[in-house]
Structure 1
Amino acid sequence: MTKVIQFLWFGRDMQAAVRCYTSLIPGSAMGPVQTPMGGVEVMEFNLGDQRYRAMQTGAPETFNQSFSISAECETQAEIDHLWDTLKEGGAEVRCGWLCDRWGLSWQIVPREMGTLMSGPNGAQVAQAMMGMVKLDLAALRHAAA
């Protein structure tokens, strides 16, 4: 069976980034760093149930918003914790998106977002979300009610 692994190319601080990510997402783990060629570091890691491979070459490659990691959270406390940690040195965007200090985009959303958006008041939920930077689960639930 074919395996699918997301591949992230870091220009710098790959190990610090992966250490941060795996500390935030339950069920995550880092593999050992390999150096197959001079100056290149490669490692595999899991974020929850998703497999990743990372490479650091020192080249000035940058991420952009065409790739993001979406973290679905059960509670507002979980949203707040992920948001506050990942935005350090990064930038808040809007609608639950942020860019971390390594340039990787994240979507920090409530796990029930799909249900809220597909309900009878989905348009109100979407409108409420559009006015937010970090998502407020209570406000989204209120919009859905």
Structure 2
Amino acid sequence: MKPKNTICLWFDKDAEAAARFYAATFPDSRVTGVHRAPGDYPMGKAGDVLTVEFTVLGLPCLGLNGGPMFQHSEAFSFQVATDDQAETDRYWNAIVGNGGEESQCGWCRDRWGISWQITPRALSDAMAAGGDEAKRAFAAMMTMGKIDVAKIEAARRG
């Protein structure tokens, strides 16, 4: 049964490659369907991959190969909660090391332009604590690209 709500991501022409990368990188992620255009369309030909159904960490998504006119921005991102530094490193390195780029405060972008927040639970917990703990953790985070769990925990303790 198809989900009632699906995230649709517009790609130039690489929806299938992106979906397969996500499926190989994240648990509870898979490609569930590849659909080819039944006829020519403005940015493609009959038989080209038009849409790809997939999940990312259990979230249903649809990749649409619609051409280059719309680009991704940080206005949309996947936020991935990680349990420790090893998991943080694994996802960050997979995204950045596969043609992506680093940003700040736990954000990076994959080679297709999709933004990812690789967010250790230690950071979320520190922010939720509020007060001086949150202020110190926030100040530490503001100096980071990839989040360093040990530095966040040290900042939280003061």
TM-score by length of 1: 0.91
- Which of structure 1's runs of 4+ aligned residues deviate more than 3 A? none
List gaps (5 residues or longer) in structure 2. none
Q: Deviations over 1:25-59 (max 9, x none)?
A: 11111112102443351111111221111111333
In 2, the alpha carbon distance for the partners of 1:113 and 1:3 equals 32
Q: In structure 2, what is the equivalent of residue 77 of structure 1?
A: 86
In 1, the alpha carbon distance for the partners of 2:121 and 2:30 equals 22
Question: Pairwise mapping of residues 111-126 of structure 1 onto structure 2 (< 5 A)?
Answer: 111-119=121-129, 120=131, 121-126=133-138
List gaps (5 residues or longer) in structure 1. none
Structure 1 residue 92 corresponds to structure 2 residue 102: yes
Q: In structure 1, what is the equivalent of residue 63 of structure 2?
A: 54
TM-score by length of 2: 0.84
Question: Pairwise mapping of residues 97-112 of structure 1 onto structure 2 (< 5 A)?
Answer: 97-112=107-122
RMSD over equivalenced CA pairs, Å: 1.6
Question: Pairwise mapping of residues 25-64 of structure 1 onto structure 2 (< 5 A)?
Answer: 25-37=26-38, 38=40, 39=44, 41-64=50-73
Paired residues of 2:26 and 2:57 also in contact (CA < 8 A): yes
In 2, the alpha carbon distance for the partners of 1:59 and 1:35 equals 18
Matched length: 144
Q: Which amino acid in structure 2 is aligned with residue 43 of structure 1?
A: V
